[in-house]
Structure 1
Amino acid sequence: MTTFIFLKRLFLAIFAIYLLPTFASAGWWALQDRPARWSEANWGSAGILPEASQSDEAAVYVFSAKTGGLKGAVASHAWIVTKEKGARTYTRYDKVGWGSPIRRNHRPADAFWYSNRPELVTKITGEDAQALIPKVEAAIAAYPYAEPGGYTIWPGPNSNTFVAHVLRSVPELGAVLPPHAVGRDYLPDGAFVHLDQDGKDLHLTIRGLIGLSAGVRSGFEVHFLGLVAGIDVMRPGIKIPAFGRIGV
């Protein structure tokens, strides 16, 4: 009887924390006007970034935008943008599931993704950015799933696994991907545990399916089947599966 009560409470907790927000997001998403095909979607600039030539400052940005089709109800796609000091163009890095897996500049730096406006996850400019760009590029070069075929839409490794790898490898970027970045908690090479290089965030996972993260940047998160719920401490807020982060 005790086991039955425990399992019942566990199921109710999973339903309330993970499944209910997911169903609500799916219902809201179904009511929106979305492009039927990728060829009908807007992939142009969202006008978030200034022209690269307007400033000599170095910069590093991380973006995330909801993806297309039914996946967009619960999942997003993330990418990285850099600009060297004095450069007149941005360099964008995405991990995709077709062709050459890590793409450079296949879309404008701040482009819509399947007509969905991107959110800015983090922004570093000036001397700090210039110092971080070599570290970011080294982390990109060291990503272990960079070859054709190194992509699995769920639970990973996918586009968000790639960006999360860079954020963990360069903790000075000071960010984690939003809760709807499905695949971000998949650790390379099937690792069970990862401590960020500065020792401030700890990640435990079983192949991105179930686990937790805790630390300065992550707050406290529990992920279940790619869905993330948690709280932020340093920047007060809550993380809701499928919806994202709400707070400061």
Structure 2
Amino acid sequence: MTILKTGLLLFALFYLLPLGISAAIYQTRLSGTDWWSADRSSAGLLPPARSPGAVVRVFAAPTVRWRGIFAVHCWIVFKPEGEARYTRYDYTAWGDPIRMNGFEPDGRWFGSTPEVVFAADGAEAEALIPRMRAAIAGYAWRNQGDYRAWPGPNSNTFVAAVLDSIPGIGVTLPPNAIGKDYPYDGRWLRPTASGTGLRLSLGGLAGLSLGWVEGLEVNILGAVAGIDIRRPAIKLPGLGRIGMRGPDGSGVPTPVATTAGTD
């Protein structure tokens, strides 16, 4: 009985309480916003598209309406060297799931300003783009009806699969990117996205990840709690990563600061 009580207390502390706080934040900030009229303009997080160098970004922002209490939506943006426009890929619930250039590359996601999850520029970005394109072209869950908001495959499953295709990229999606642990290729036990550990996923409904970049993550019904020792932080459902920022995971600074937009 003591073990049961301890387990319930930990569940309330690390799962229910963070989600309650996230719900209160949502109620304060966004509950009165109409999703169809919400701001989707550029947040000014990308270098001007006319800049000659290659660029790769992965963005995340709270998802639409009340679902933003629980999860973020992730997407991919890149521009090869010499091109004058960005290409954005999302995975959505309407039409063909893989959506290209449906929104501004660094656009606010229905009123929410995105954060940079991963950034690469120049030669590093140029080397990543062909592998990303190949992973997108070969993604299995690409037909109408394949999208499932929970437990996956959803937008975060798609981005996780693209990142998984690049060994050694050393990045992990935010803990509140629900769907990132869905076994998109049927493998329930696999290396973590960063390649620095192992991840066990029981259909995206439960799981455990342990890696140098990911730290320890415990997945219960898609909600992730955990701890990062490498860059000290805690990971909480709804609230995401709280602690030290770094060049991987949420909170990474944009390498090229700009207010010029993406024109």
TM tier relative to shorter chain:
over 0.9
**Aligned residues: CA RMSD:** 1.6
Structure 2 equivalent of residue 19 of structure 1: 16
State the TM-score, normalized to the length of structure 1.
Answer: 0.93
Unmatched tracts of structure 2, length 5 or more: 245-263
Please tell me whether the aligned partners of residues 35 and 41 of structure 1 are also in contact (alpha carbons under 8 angstroms).
Answer: no
The aligned runs of 1:88-103 (5 Å cut-off) are 88-103=84-99
3-state DSSP of counterpart to 1:15: helix
- Residue aligned with 1:202, SS: strand
The AA in structure 2 aligned to 1:77 is H
| Residue identity in the other structure for 1:146 | R
> Does 1:139 find its partner at 2:129?
no
Matched-pair identity in % = 47
Q: Secondary structure at the match of 1:160?
A: helix
Deviations 1:30-79 (A, max 9, x none): 122445433211111111112110x2111110000001211111111000
Q: Is the aligned partner of 1:229 residue 2:228?
A: no
Aligned length: 244
Q: In the aligned structure 1, how far is the partner of 2:4 from the partner of 2:136?
A: 42
Partner SS for 2:149: coil
- What letter corresponds to residue 45 of structure 1 in structure 2? S
CA distance in 2, matches of 1:183, 1:146: 16
Matches of 1:101 and 1:86, distance apart in 2 = 29
For each residue in 1:195-216, what CA deviation from the matched residue of structure 2 results, as whole angstroms up to 9, or x when unmatched?
2588423110111111111112
Q: Which moved more, 1:233-242 or 1:61-70?
A: 233-242
Bigger drift between 35-44 and 61-70 goes to 35-44
Which residue of the partner structure matches residue 69 of structure 1?
65
TM-score by length of 2: 0.88
**Equivalent of 2:172, from 172, 176, 183?**
176
- More relative contact order, 1 or 2 (CA 8 Å, 6+ apart): 2
Paired with 1:13 and 1:197, the residues of 2 have a C-alpha distance of 27
Tell whether 2:146 aligns with 1:123: no
Is the 8 Å Cα contact of residues 164 and 194 (structure 2) preserved in structure 1? no
Please state whether the residue corresponding to 1:14 is helix, strand or coil.
helix
For residues 234 and 171 of structure 1, do their structure 2 counterparts lie closer, same or farther at Cα, with a shift above 3 Å needed?
farther
Q: Kindly state the Cα deviation for residue 83 of structure 1 after the two structures are TM-superposed.
A: 0.7
**1:134, CA displacement in angstroms?**
0.8
CA distance in 2, matches of 1:135, 1:98: 26
CA distance in 1, matches of 2:218, 2:238: 14
> Retained in 2: the 8 A contact 1:210–1:225?
yes
CA distances 1:204-233 after superposition (whole Å, capped 9, x unpaired)? 011111111111221111111111111223
Whether 2:211 is the aligned partner of 1:215: answer yes
Q: CA deviation at 1:235?
A: 2.3
Distance 1:108 1:173 in 2: 25
Partner of 1:158: 154
1:8-43 C-alpha deviation (Å, 9 max, x unpaired) = 221111111111100111122112244543321111
> Which of 192, 196, 218 is residue 188 of structure 2 equivalent to?
192
Classify 1:203/1:86 alpha carbon distance in 2 versus 1 (closer, same or farther; 3 Å).
same
